[in-house]
Amino acid sequence: MGKFIYDGSTKVDIEDRALAHVQVVIGTKLRRGEAFYFTWREEASVGDGRTSVWLHESIPLVYRFSGSRRPELNPAWLDALAYTANSSLGLHVVPEPAEGSTPPAGAMSE
C-alpha cells in the first residue's frame, strides 16, 4: 500500500498500482499547467467521508510506494483516470478497465 502526501500534511493510502497510474495522470496535468481537484473516500477509521484537494504545481506532492518494483501501466486505466481529472469533479480513482478497452470519449493518454 502506497501513500499520497499533499502539502506535507494530507495523506491517503492508495494501492501501489493505482498510485503509479494516479502519479502519471497528475504529472501530465501539472506539466501542462492545469490545476484540478483530486478526491478520495476516507477509511471508516478516519470518519468515512470524502477529501478533495486542489492540485497545483506550486504545492508539494509526495508519492511513497511500499514496493520497489514499478508496475506496468495500463493505457486504458490512464485514459479513464485522465477522463475523470478533466471533468468538473476532478480526478478520482476508478476501477481498472481491461487493457485494450475503449477509452472514454475525450480522454487524454500519456
DSSP 81-104: HHHHHTSTT-B---PPPPTTPPPP
CB atoms within 10 A of CB 10: 11
pLDDT tens digits along 63-110: 999 989 999 999 999 999 999 999 999 999 999 998 766 655 544 443
pLDDT tens digits along 36-71: 999 998 877 777 789 999 999 999 999 999 989 999
pLDDT tier at 25, thresholds 50, 70, 90: very high
| Cα dihedral sign, 107-54-39-1 | positive
pTM of the predicted model as reported, rounded to 2 decimal places: 0.86
Domain boundaries, the chain: 2-85
**Which pLDDT score, from 0 to 100, does residue 107 have?**
47
